[in-house]
Amino acid sequence: MKFERFLSAVSKARKPSPIRMATALMLRSPPSTISLGGGSPNPCTFPFRKLYVEISNGTNIRIEGKEMDRALQYSQSDGIPELKDWLKRIQKHFHQPPLMNDSNENELDLCVTVGSQDGLTKVFEMLLSPGDNMLLDDPNYPGSLAFLQPLPINLLPVDTDEFGMKSSSLREALSAWKPSDVLNPNSDIPKVLYTIPNCGNPTGASASTGRKLEIYKIAREYDLIIVEDDPYYFLQFNETVAPSYQQLDTDGRVIRSDSMSKVLSSGMRLGWISGAKPFIDRLVLHQQATLLHNSTLIQMLVWKLLEKWKLEGFQKHLKETKTFYESQKNVMIESANKWLTGLAEWNVPQGGMFLWIKLLGIDDTTELIQKRAMEKEIILIPGSAFSVKENVKSSYCRASFSLSSPENIDEGIRRLAELVREELDRKHK
């Protein structure tokens, strides 16, 4: 692949930071090396000495002595090597990326980020230039839309259903161009496709294997980069899941975003971006110029947890976490069947945290959810918040089953049903 073709002018202009290079060099050097180049503060001036964290099985993780000095210090921009090694093991176990077997420039690499959101914004900045056309799921995650919508680019929505992005809609969105247009450097043919393939926020939809194969085929045909945003991958309820786009990728055209937010801690802000090394190298330069690196302390804490758990322990924790969320989902579906039958439609999510509900007879849920739902002391998100194009009406709303108790889920859905009935009565008067 011609990786250079996909890079924005800003990304191409970035140069390695000599200070960051000196820091990385110092961390790789033997203890006998004398460094007079770095600007790292002396850890003897830091007030923190030890950190003991008790984990759910009653055992402890300890960081002290030289490890504590290291945890409080600057580290490599792409992540500490021990955590990167663990994350690569996780990628290999769950995705078997073909690029891991590639010894040339396509070789898989990854960069630890401050949550997946931070990594995604850097990926977008790396790939998008003013005037670009970009393809993406519709509806979509508001966090990504908040970054993308103000940019001087054109967002091309691609319809989704319960099986994820529709390949027919993707072809329709690309119908203004021919695959041969990629050979024209002046063409405005899209270069980037952004998708949330599993348990999508807000719809809860998961793309089937067939859909992913169709989408990847189109991506190869039109030479698209697929940005695979998959924060709910570990919350898929079925034992057998569809392969990720990264697992299908033999070209290096998939840039994947992962996160520990949903399974370890959202407040830790630990995510990672993986893909072909030429892309990750550019991403690291972006990281050097912005936040420098993810918290070394957090990285070491997660590394030590994975060292204690091993892969088997991590999988055991994932299974327990999925069991909890599946139980929460079952409560919400039972409540929806009890209270919303005849008033709404929905598909049962196969993972994640959300139920995407279509309110029958209501053209736009925005005012209903933002105003009258609050009067009934129930908080939901109107469907319009997830539309790629702004000021679009939507009959949908998103309900989350992640945090509320089973009793509150049931009462919340009951209040929603009451609200819908009142709205329909009001419309018919």
Specify if 104 maps to a domain.
yes
> Under DSSP, is residue 356 helix (H, G, I), strand (E, B) or coil?
strand
User: Residues 294, 276, 127, CA angle at the centre, nearest 5°?
Assistant: 75
92 within domain boundaries: yes
For 181-238, what is each residue's pLDDT tens digit?
999 989 999 999 999 999 989 999 999 999 999 999 999 999 999 999 999 999 999 9
The per-residue pLDDT for 143 is: 93
Neighbours of 341 (CB within 10 A): 10
Overall residue count recorded for the chain in this entry? 429
Q: Which of 19-23, 128-132, 314-318 has the lowest mean pLDDT?
A: 19-23
- Is the per-residue pLDDT at 91 higher than 70? yes
pLDDT of residue 27 exceeding 70, the answer is: no
Residues 284 and 376 grouped into a single domain: no
In a domain, 176, yes or no: yes
CB neighbour list of residue 111: distance below 8 Å, 6 or more residues apart:
77, 78, 79, 119, 272, 273, 274, 280, 283, 284, 287
Mean pLDDT of all residues belonging to the chain: 92
Residue 28 forms part of a structural domain: no
Last residue of a domain, one of 275, 295, 311: 311
pLDDT of 21 higher than 80: no
CATH number assigned to the domain comprising residue 353? 3.90.1150.10
* 208 Cβ contact list (under 8 Å, min separation 6): 163, 164, 242
Does residue 337 share a domain with residue 258? no
pLDDT tens-digit series, residues 128-159: 999 999 999 999 999 999 999 999 999 999 99
Give whole-number Cα distances, 133 to 129, 180, 190, 200, 392, in Å: 9, 16, 5, 22, 20
Residue 426 pLDDT: 85
pLDDT at 121: 95
Average pLDDT value for residue range 278-292:
92
pLDDT score of 9: 87
In a domain, 20, yes or no: no
Does an H or E element contain 317, and which?
Answer: helix 296-339
pTM of the prediction? 0.92
DSSP state of 37: S
Q: Rounded mean pLDDT of 342-362?
A: 96
Whole-angstrom Cα Rg for the chain: 23
For residue 13, give Cα distances in angstroms to 7, 130, 227, 282, 289. Answer: 10, 15, 22, 10, 12
- pLDDT classification of 103: cutoffs 50, 70, 90: low
> Do residues 305 and 370 both lie within one domain?
no
pLDDT: is 9 or 173 the higher one?
173
Which value, to the nearest 10 degrees, does the dihedral of the CA atoms of residues 240, 245, 247, 250 take?
Answer: 150
- Structural domain includes residue 21: no
Instruction: Pick the more confident residue, 138 or 25.
Output: 138
The CA distance from 333 to 355, in Å, is 8
Position 58 scores a pLDDT of 87
- pLDDT tens track for 369-421: 999 998 999 999 999 999 999 889 999 999 999 999 999 999 999 999 999 99
Is 379 found in the same domain as 306? Answer: no
Q: How confident is the model at residue 303 (pLDDT cuts 50, 70, 90)?
A: very high
Instruction: Verify that 263 and 175 share a domain, yes or no.
Output: yes
pLDDT of residue 110: 97
Query: Within 13 Å of residue 230, how many CA atoms lie on the same side as its CB?
Result: 29
Q: Which residue has the tokens 């169709």?
A: 214
Q: Measuring CA to CA, which residue among 127, 132, 130, 153 is closest to residue 280?
A: 127
| 295 and 333 together in one domain | no
Let me know whether 221 and 299 are in one domain.
yes
Give the type of residue at 115.
Answer: G
Q: Verify that 297 and 330 share a domain, yes or no.
A: no
Residue 7 phi/psi, 5-degree rounding, is -80, 140
Q: Mean pLDDT, to the nearest integer, of 156-176?
A: 95
| Domain identity same for 392 and 372 | yes
| Residue that terminates a domain, selected from 288, 311, 334 | 311
381: in domain: yes
Structure tokens at 198: 């599993």
CB 395 within 8 A of CB 358: yes
Question: Is residue 422 included in any domain, yes or no?
Answer: yes
Band (pLDDT 50/70/90 cuts) for residue 31 is confident
Is residue 110 within 8 A of residue 88, CB to CB? The reply is yes
Q: What's the domain range around 82?
A: 3-13+77-311
Listed range (23-32, 151-160, 261-270, 312-321) with the worst mean pLDDT: 23-32
* Nearest Cα residue to 81 out of 109, 107, 104, 43: 109
Label residue 105 by pLDDT band (50, 70, 90): low
Examine the domain organization and report whether 327 and 288 are in the same domain: no
The pLDDT of residue 60 is above 60:
yes
**What average pLDDT does this structure show over 258-278?**
95
20, pLDDT greater than 60: no
Looking at 311, 344, 378, the residue that finishes a domain is 311
Same domain, 267 and 322: no
Residues 134 and 253 in one domain: yes
Residue 15: its pLDDT value, please? Answer: 84
45 or 254, which is more confident?
254
Q: Give 368's DSSP letter.
A: I
Q: How many domains does the chain have?
A: 2
CATH number for position 261: 3.40.640.10
